[in-house]
Structure 1
Amino acid sequence: MKIDAHHHLWDLSAVTYPWLMEKGITRFFGDPASIQRDYLLPEFRADAEAVGVGASVHIQVGAADPWAEAQWVQSVAEQFPDWPLVQVAFCDLTARDLDEHLDRLQTLPSVRGVRQIIGRAPGEDASTGTNALLKDPAFLAGLQQLGNRGLSFDLQLLPELMEQAADILAQALETQIALCHAGSPHDRTPQGLQSWADNLTALSSLPQVNCKLSGLGMFDHNWSADSVAPIISTCLSQFGADRCMFGSNFPVDSLTSTYGEVVSRYQDLIPSSNQDGVFHGTSKRFYRI
């Protein structure tokens, strides 16, 4: 059974997503018009089951009210008990009342960890200021608190921030880390990929960091197995199959490919001896599915 370690769901009548519903704005990952609608588990599940996926991890996705989103995902998990669904919720690790937020999240049985995005894309990061989290002592303290509670952290950032992030993570070795989207290699030139690979070593050298092979279509809307082969190869070389996991990033990556295409491209690139780890073992262990 394959596990999808990175996807989203949304019910627009239950939870508000300001970024999703902005009309006429093209984002770095493409024009969101086709996904500005409900995307619920039965639709996701139909695509996933068709290629052997039988469990998944829901990742928070910018809700106006993150607690409402976490509660809604919990309700979905309860509504479909035959589909193993766990979640990574949002929490501001710099909040003064962090303990209260984490206490509340841990009342939800499906919660396995937290994501607070550090970097999305160069232009967007310049306006949001999320990169500044790495300089905030409260962020490190929050990361350490996650480890104390047995919660993981999903790390989304750009290659330019990897060395700085590694310095922080080295002080929170008890906190298990999932690097989203292979570290977002946004510059796909040979020079850009080499710089990404060099920076990636700062994270792969930390034993608690795992790598998601996901979201590779966000910065290359015409991606193919050949175009991402160097990325997959580098991740497997640096992390090993026992620290890499597959994620579809659906429905965001539905803007650039079908679910079946995402899975088949990864299967073509990942050696058969590594596929059990990438498609099942790592995510099962990491997210306790």
Structure 2
Amino acid sequence: MKIDAHHHLWDLNAVEYPWLMEKGAVRFFGDPTPIQRNYLLPEYRADASAQGFSASVHIQVGAADPWAEAQWVQSVADQYPDWPLVQVVFCDLTANDLEYQLDRFQSLPSVRGVRQIVGRAPGEDAKTGTNKLLENPDFRNGLVAVGERGLSFDLQLLPELMEQTAEVLSQAPSTPVALCHAGSPHDRSAEGLSHWQDALSSLSKLPNVHCKLSGLGMFDHNWSAQSVAPIASTCLSQFGADRCMFGSNFPVDSLSSTYYELVSRLQELIPGAHQNSVFHNTAKRFYRFE
């Protein structure tokens, strides 16, 4: 049994996703045109099952109404009980009604954690201003509240923000954190990867932070096992296999590879002794699969 610790689903008739339906806008991960359609569990499951996966973690994906998205994902989990599906929801940790929002989300049995994106890509971050969350004491307090409730936090950011983020996370040591997309090493030059590696150590030193080997094709659509080998090896050496987990980031990463190509390339890079941890054990423990 393998667990995919990071993927998305969407039904454009059930939930509104403004970013997904924006026509003609090229994003940091590429042209979204091929994925501007319904992407439902049966399609995802066919690809994942063929590679030995039998459970997964749905990550929020920018719905106009996060509660509507969470309810819809719960309905999918209820509809397919033979496919264990848990979810990470969006929640603004700086909101005045944070406790109410968390109460409501935790009424859904599939909810395991929350995500509020700190950084996506340099150009987009300049427009959204999400980097400023790190300067907001309410964000830090929200991280603490999430951990006190037994929830985890999915962290998406850029290498340039890692050291500042580590200082914030050190004040919420009881909150389990999953670093999405290996920390988004967007500069794949030797110098860029060196800076990412150094910055990553500020997060990997925190025992509550885990790392997802996911989203490796977002900043390089021509990626290969060889090109991302330094990223995989660095994550494994800094976090250890017991704090690393695989995520497909489908269907977003379907823009750069098939599901088969994605899994086979990463399997090539992960030593056999570590594959059970990366493809199953870490995600099962972190996201509390029964």
TM-score range, shorter chain: over 0.9
Instruction: Give the letter for the 1:20 counterpart.
Output: L
For residues 80-99 of structure 1, what are the structure 2 equivalents within 5 Å? 80-99=80-99
Residue 126 of structure 1 deviates from its aligned partner by: 0.3
Structure 1 position 19 matched with structure 2 position 19: yes
For residues 56-95 of structure 1, what are the structure 2 equivalents within 5 Å? 56-95=56-95
Instruction: Give the letter for the 1:141 counterpart.
Output: N
For residues 1-289 of structure 1, what are the structure 2 equivalents within 5 Å? 1-289=1-289
* Aligned-residue RMSD, C-alpha: 0.3
Give me the whole-angstrom Cα distance separating, in 1, the residues matched to 2:72 and 2:124. Answer: 28
3-state DSSP of counterpart to 2:13: coil
Residue 245 of structure 1 deviates from its aligned partner by: 0.1
Structure 2: stretches of 5+ with no match in the other structure: none
Using the size of structure 1 for normalisation, the TM-score is 1.00
Give me the whole-angstrom Cα distance separating, in 2, the residues matched to 1:200 and 1:127. Answer: 25
Residue 38 of structure 1 deviates from its aligned partner by: 0.2
Give me the whole-angstrom Cα distance separating, in 2, the residues matched to 1:207 and 1:28. Answer: 30
Give me the whole-angstrom Cα distance separating, in 1, the residues matched to 2:210 and 2:96. Answer: 28
Residue 275 of structure 1 deviates from its aligned partner by: 0.3
Residue 34 of structure 1 deviates from its aligned partner by: 0.5
Give me the whole-angstrom Cα distance separating, in 2, the residues matched to 1:43 and 1:192. Answer: 36
Instruction: Give the letter for the 2:74 counterpart.
Output: Q
Instruction: Give the letter for the 2:210 counterpart.
Output: N
- The runs of 4+ residues in structure 1 deviating greater than 4 Å are none
Using the size of structure 2 for normalisation, the TM-score is 0.99
Structure 1: stretches of 5+ with no match in the other structure: none
Give me the whole-angstrom Cα distance separating, in 1, the residues matched to 2:211 and 2:78. Answer: 28
3-state DSSP of counterpart to 2:19: helix
Q: Which moved more, 1:24-33 or 1:185-194?
A: 24-33
Residue 246 of structure 1 deviates from its aligned partner by: 0.1
> How far does the alpha carbon of each residue in 1:187-232 deviate from its partner, in whole angstroms, 9 at most, with x for none?
0000000000000000000000000000000000100000000000
Instruction: Give the letter for the 1:268 counterpart.
Output: E
Aligned residues: 289
Residue 152 of structure 1 deviates from its aligned partner by: 0.2
Residue 74 of structure 1 deviates from its aligned partner by: 0.2
3-state DSSP of counterpart to 1:70: helix
Give me the whole-angstrom Cα distance separating, in 2, the residues matched to 1:49 and 1:229. Answer: 25
> How far does the alpha carbon of each residue in 1:89-122 deviate from its partner, in whole angstroms, 9 at most, with x for none?
0000000110000000000000000000000000
Give me the whole-angstrom Cα distance separating, in 2, the residues matched to 1:169 and 1:34. Answer: 36
Instruction: Give the letter for the 2:221 counterpart.
Output: H
3-state DSSP of counterpart to 1:26: coil
Give me the whole-angstrom Cα distance separating, in 1, the residues matched to 2:177 and 2:238. Answer: 15
Give me the whole-angstrom Cα distance separating, in 2, the residues matched to 1:94 and 1:224. Answer: 39
> How far does the alpha carbon of each residue in 1:212-257 deviate from its partner, in whole angstroms, 9 at most, with x for none?
0000000001000000000000000000000000000000000000
3-state DSSP of counterpart to 1:18: coil
Residue 25 of structure 1 deviates from its aligned partner by: 1.1
Give me the whole-angstrom Cα distance separating, in 2, the residues matched to 1:200 and 1:185. Answer: 10
Instruction: Give the letter for the 2:79 counterpart.
Output: Q
Residue 266 of structure 1 deviates from its aligned partner by: 0.5
3-state DSSP of counterpart to 1:21: coil
Give me the whole-angstrom Cα distance separating, in 1, the residues matched to 2:201 and 2:7. Answer: 26
Instruction: Give the letter for the 1:158 counterpart.
Output: L
Residue 277 of structure 1 deviates from its aligned partner by: 0.3
Instruction: Give the letter for the 1:151 counterpart.
Output: L
Give me the whole-angstrom Cα distance separating, in 2, the residues matched to 1:59 and 1:121. Answer: 18
Give me the whole-angstrom Cα distance separating, in 2, the residues matched to 1:79 and 1:2. Answer: 21
Give me the whole-angstrom Cα distance separating, in 1, the residues matched to 2:265 and 2:128. Answer: 33
